[in-house]
Amino acid sequence: MSEKFAWKPSREYIENAQLTRFIRSCGCTGFGELQRRSVSEIPWFTGRVLDFLNLRWRQRPAEILDLSRGLEWPRWCVGGRMNLVDTCLRHEGAAIAVIYEHESGATDTWTYGELKQRVAAWAASFRSLGLGAGDAIGLHLPMTPDTVAALLAIHAIGAIAAPLFSGFGAEAIASRMNDLEAAALITARSFIRRGKIVESGRTAAEAAGACPALKHLLFVEDVPRLRSRLNTEERAAEDPAIVIYTSGTTGKPKGIVHTHCGFPVKAAQDMALNIDVHAGERIAWITDLGWMMGPWLIYGALILGATICLYDGAFDYPEPGCLWAFCARHRVNALGVSPSLIRALVPHGADLPKRHDLSALRILASSGEPWNPDPWWWLFENAGRGRVPIINYSGGTEISGGILSNTVLHPIKPCGFAAPCPGIDADVVDETGRSVRGSVGELAIRGPWIGQARGFWRDPQRYLDTYWSKIPGLWVHGDWAEIDEDGHWFIQGRSDDTLKIAGKRVGPAEVESILVSHPAVIEAAVIGVPDERKGSAMIAFCVAGQPCDAGELQSRIARALGKPLCPERIHFVGAIPKTRNAKVMRRVLRAAYLGQDPGDVTALENPQCLESIKQLGA
């Protein structure tokens, strides 16, 4: 094997791949032709995807794509009538839809038939309360089978789902519910996390008191299970189905709007063609409903006829090997993780995954942030045994899934991406919009795709300003990326996180990779701060598992990148600010260090760490 590639596809992977089947169904000679046609013949490609997924229509669309309002506001499946639940629940009743395990060891399994019954019961309860088409309903729940049923039931009655992080505080919940003028909020009275009771119901009740439009606060334990036949409301394909909030750098969170024919289709497309999940297979993704990968997992798996594997708890509790034990017990075929999760597990030892039978594992996948090489190799060699591909997958809530991804048809480079996802006309560009190769540029998209956000909730100008104003005519995603000589893509971090030191642009991930390669460093984050002499100075923050010398780390970076790119200071901290889905929040870290307003921090898992960081910068 070439030293460039960690993994190359076997004949078995290629012949059995969903992507191979799709390429052949399209009459294409290979991936290259499919990718070219997918972005030059968009209606043709999207129509093929809709047929491949066997989407259920009440009335088929008269037109796949209407660009009369411009690239910023495409209309999809014009004239189509549907309800996404019809597609999600069309599979054989005896097939397993959901496997659930709580950190306490309690388990549950639902067939597709049982899930359909529970969705019908939830829908009947909603209707009995007068809830219906167009109402917004918040979901403040951990990842349980009833969460899946409630989400689908909201769609079934034609309402709009608003998933929220299960750990949100009252202010975060209220701000989102008020933005939507939500009619109802569903929560749990409590749940157990790390062996402790989380009083989620009390938090939600406090939030409800600050929401004048809210008519119903529903506790999942108390909602009556009304026996009913499932009836789904017919909706226009472009009717809103879900609004997912992401944190803004400043100001209020952004409510990203997706439709019945948008987010679910892109999720299932990517899960099939990139992650290579098949009907009957078991997929787990370590996520929360409030992160886009929660709904992505639910829609994608159910549309494909796969099994959703849910773990309700922390993956290092009650012991650090419980992730691998969970995968072994339930014979998980595809496992999605974040790089931060793996970095947190590395110090517990490479033998942890090796203690468990992971022979069913066929796909490892990752999303959420750039990799560092050492944790990537740890996952590949110890969990994947060197035989399982890591499908690195990167996009966003506004994309409904991936911009870039690996596939099981391509050789894989550590930390990289083989190609754009089919249907995504991605490019790396300079500040004028011209393509660049061999150097870092902005990750951009040149054409529409079916999962494209339909704007921000009641705030179209903010949507245009966020994605379409930097380079006219291009969607600019906010990531720095680079394409190497083999055509493989690498994301270097968020463009607003990127540092320019001594005239050289460097992504924080490049420096952080060197820091975490030291055996004492568990996690690292790098920021740039104003400097009178250099213009910008680099500051590093490290979480260390054992005593470590800052000078030694600085020398390590200087040897690798040169003295001009050595951090001015290295601070050792107890924690780095991260979201509940383990994404490092560098802009919050920078603001805290500089004593500035950090903006929206409601998604932070550990806001208490900010005070000590403020003191370091004082």
Rounded CA-CA distance 182/188 in Å is 18
The residues, any chain, with a CB within 8 Å of residue 39's CB and separated by 6 or more, are 45, 423, 424, 425, 446, 447
The residues, any chain, with a CB within 8 Å of residue 208's CB and separated by 6 or more, are 174, 177, 185, 214, 217
**Cβ–Cβ under 8 Å, residues 343 and 375:** yes
Give CA angle at 603 (600, 604), nearest 5°.
95
pLDDT at 603 over 70: yes
**Cβ–Cβ under 8 Å, residues 8 and 411:** yes
Q: Where are the alpha helices (DSSP H) in 330-408?
A: 339-345, 351-354, 373-378
Rounded CA-CA distance 14/37 in Å is 21
| Mean pLDDT, residues 298-312 taken together | 97
The residue that leads in pLDDT, 546 or 306, is 306
Rounded CA-CA distance 441/492 in Å is 9
The two tokens of residue 86 are: 């019809």
Share of the chain above pLDDT 90, in %: 76
pLDDT at 1: 37
Q: How far apart are the first and last CA of the chain?
A: 52
Rounded CA-CA distance 445/361 in Å is 33
CATH 3.30.300.30 range(s) for the chain read 500-617
Q: Which class would CATH give 46-483?
A: alpha beta
DSSP annotation of 6: S
Closest by CA to 222, choosing from 196, 197, 198, 187, is 187
Rounded CA-CA distance 345/128 in Å is 46
Residue 32: strand, helix, or coil: helix
pLDDT at 248: 53
Rounded CA-CA distance 325/101 in Å is 11
Rounded CA-CA distance 567/540 in Å is 6
- Distances, alpha carbon 526 to alpha carbons 124, 221, 514, in Å: 51, 44, 11
Closest by CA to 161, choosing from 306, 259, 308, is 259
Rounded CA-CA distance 489/418 in Å is 6
The residue count of the chain comes to 618
pLDDT at 250: 45
The residues, any chain, with a CB within 8 Å of residue 476's CB and separated by 6 or more, are 442, 443, 444, 467, 468, 470
Closest by CA to 136, choosing from 292, 234, 243, is 243
Rounded CA-CA distance 545/346 in Å is 11
- Distances, alpha carbon 572 to alpha carbons 116, 171, 174, 281, 299, in Å: 51, 31, 35, 43, 41
95-146: per-residue pLDDT in tens?
999 999 999 999 999 999 999 999 999 999 999 999 999 999 999 999 999 9
pLDDT band at 423 (very low <50, low <70, confident <90, very high): very high
pLDDT at 459: 94
320-369: per-residue pLDDT in tens?
999 999 999 999 999 999 988 898 899 899 999 999 999 999 999 999 88
Tell the CATH topology of 500-617.
GMP Synthetase; Chain A, domain 3 (3.30.300)
Closest by CA to 116, choosing from 138, 89, 137, 143, is 89
pLDDT at 581: 64
pLDDT at 370: 85
CATH 3.40.50.12780 range(s) for the chain read 46-483
Give CA angle at 211 (208, 212), nearest 5°.
125
pLDDT at 2: 44
pTM given for the model: 0.87
Phi, psi dihedral angles at 505 (to 5 degrees):
-85, 130
527-545: per-residue pLDDT in tens?
988 876 666 789 999 999 8
Rounded CA-CA distance 18/487 in Å is 23
Residue 179, CA atoms < 13 Å, CB-side half-sphere:
22
pLDDT at 501 over 80: no
Question: Strands, DSSP E only, in 126-224?
Answer: 136-140, 160-163, 184-187, 191-193, 196-198, 216-219
Rounded CA-CA distance 330/326 in Å is 6
pLDDT at 269: 98
Residue 459 one-letter amino acid: D
